[in-house]
Amino acid sequence: MMKEQIQEHVKNLLAEGRIEGFLGLRQQGTDIGPHLFKSADELGDLSLGDRQDPGDSRYPLDKILSRLAFNYPTDTFGVLVRGCDERALQQLFTVSMLHRDRVVPVGFACPPELAEAHQCWKPFPEALVAGEPSPGVVGGEDAVGSQLGLLGKLQEWFDTFDRCVKCYGCRNICPVCYCHDCTLEEAALLPTGEIPPANPNFLMTRAMHMVGRSLCIYCGLCEEVCPADIPLKSLYRLVSKIVGQEAVTPEGLAARQETAGQSVDKAAAG
Amino acid sequence: MDYKTVLTTCAYCGCGCGLYLEVLDGRLIGTLPSKTNPINEGKLCVKGWNIHEFVQHPSRLTKPLIRKNGTLTEASWDEALDYTASRLKEIKEAHGSHSIAFLASAKVTNEENYVIMKFARAAVGTNNVDHCARL
Ligand code: SF4
Ligand code: SF4
Ligand code: SF4
Ligand code: SF4
């Protein structure tokens, strides 16, 4: 049902010539991957990224989009977004990696069980085309916070960091990691070509870069991509609390984006 | 503008992780792990993440080289194969089959590894076959 609504919406965007293409997900057999839909005929293969379970096949579409926009700066593209993807778009607009006039987000809501699993405080985008918004989990990660703690359980965290194989996957997949010259490859700070990476410098540097600049939108893609199963998103949420800048906690981000953006009702009605 | 993703298998080791190569206007620009591949379940190692880089890399060898008077010189495939075959023959005649070893690869297909194993044992007559994963 949600899929049909998205297909119909994108079909119209393409027919009206409002977008050059629609960056979404395509199912081929049992595989789901990113795809740029250029014509309505292709939309039959559209996927929302739910293979067995909701949201089990998500990709950093915003990041791909910023690469397309870099090469084709005057073209306008549509992009499939969940709540977190839309938050990432906002961040990329702010740092001028994308221009808001040349992106048409096509959004759908995540089910409550996914919001619960992701401890997501806003599991739907403003540009809602399909699905019912569910309320989300506000302050939910406090439970994780009190269970693991960062300062109280430093040694446990450092032991967890020891598993890092320095694949850079967390950085590569992150929709809001946009720097051309990445500090994690800055030899003067973090010796390059050395495995295992300096602990905790390597992972804490990334944590500070994600949280300290209010970049992280807590999509959890980093955590999913980590071959060492390091709970990176939880780490970043804990660090955001310790840094103590309300604006950089998920709740703070939510409040900030609410004041900056339009109301949900308005977007849903339009 | 032509952007597409191509589902394929990592060629760097025998694990066989599934990944998407990103192609923009005919050039490889990136790699993404396949979320739906049962082998790697959306993860890659540092080699897989960078696999798009070697294909069009300017330092990649695309023609055979033969060392002539101490200098590596470009050669045709025919010349390179003739040279290799005749040298292998000479070495085998002068020093015996076991003076030759073959290094296969975890980066190629089972069939290619079978062929090099067969060539080593049946044509050259040695069991000296190993592969890159043990380096
Ligand atoms: S983080 Fe929120 S919006 Fe993103 S996939 Fe999870 S529940 Fe959906
Ligand atoms: S949760 Fe991870 S992948 Fe998502 S924005 Fe934060 S650091 Fe990036
Ligand atoms: S994804 Fe995991 S293993 Fe890879 S660099 Fe990041 S923390 Fe380390
Ligand atoms: S990504 Fe790494 S582990 Fe997977 S096949 Fe490639 S080299 Fe092997």
- Which residues' Cβ are closer than 6 Å to ligand 1? A 55, 82-84, 110, 114-115, 118, 120, 123, 219-220
The predicted structure's pLDDT at residue A255: 67
Q: How far is CA B86 from CA A95, B68, B75, B82, B100, in A?
A: 62, 15, 15, 6, 13
Say yes or no: A215 and A234 in one domain.
Answer: yes
From the list B29, B33, B43, which residue is nearest A67 (CB)?
Answer: B29
Amino acid at A51: R
**Quick one: which of A22, A23, A42 has its CA closest to A34?**
A23
Give the predicted TM-score (pTM) of the model: 0.88
Measured between CB atoms, does A63 come within 8 Å of chain B? Answer: no
Domain holding A221, by residue range, is 143-250
B7 to A31: CB separation less than 8 angstroms, yes or no: yes
Q: What is the pLDDT of residues B1-14, one digit of tens each?
A: 999 999 999 988 88
- Whether A208 is covered by a domain: the verdict is yes
- Whether A263 is covered by a domain: the verdict is no
Handedness of CA A97, A100, A104, A108 (dihedral sign): positive
The Cβ of residue B62 has, within 10 Å, a number of other Cβ atoms equal to: 5
Say yes or no: A76 and A191 in one domain.
Answer: no
The predicted structure's pLDDT at residue A258: 60
The predicted structure's pLDDT at residue A264: 41
pLDDT mean over A196-210 = 93
Q: How far apart are CA A55 and CA A28, in angstroms?
A: 17
Calculate the average pLDDT of chain A.
89
- Whether A171 is covered by a domain: the verdict is yes
Say yes or no: A174 and A227 in one domain.
Answer: yes
Say yes or no: A130 and A59 in one domain.
Answer: yes
A35 to B5: CB separation less than 8 angstroms, yes or no: yes
First to last CA, chain A: 19
ipTM at complex level:
0.89
Residue nearest atom 8 in ligand 3 by C-alpha distance = A164
Chain B CB contacts of A50 below 8 Å: none
The predicted structure's pLDDT at residue A237: 86
Q: What is the pLDDT of residues A105-164, one digit of tens each?
A: 999 999 999 999 998 989 999 999 999 999 988 766 554 555 556 777 888 899 999 999
Could you give all domains of chain B from N- to C-terminal order, each with its CATH number? 3-55 (2.20.25.90), 62-95 (no CATH), 96-135 (no CATH)
Structure tokens at A163: 């598993």
Residue of chain B with shortest Cα separation from A38: B2
The predicted structure's pLDDT at residue A250: 65
Q: What is the pLDDT of residues B93-106, one digit of tens each?
A: 999 999 999 999 88
Length, in residues, of chain A: 270
The predicted structure's pLDDT at residue A246: 54
* pLDDT of residue B110 exceeding 70: yes
Q: How far is CA B79 from CA B65, B72, B86, B101, in A?
A: 10, 14, 11, 22
| Position A263 confidence tier, pLDDT thresholds 50, 70, 90 | very low
Tell me how many domains chain A contains: 2
- Give the residue ranges of DSSP H helices in chain A: 2-15, 61-71, 83-94, 112-118, 141-148, 154-161, 169-173, 201-212, 221-225, 232-243, 250-260, 264-269
* pLDDT of residue A251 exceeding 60: yes
Q: What is the pLDDT of residues A155-195, one digit of tens each?
A: 889 999 999 999 999 999 999 999 989 999 998 888 888 88
A225 to B29: CB separation less than 8 angstroms, yes or no: no
Q: What is the pLDDT of residues B20-66, one digit of tens each?
A: 999 999 999 999 999 999 999 999 999 999 999 999 999 999 999 99
From the list A32, A224, A225, which residue is nearest B36 (CB)?
Answer: A32
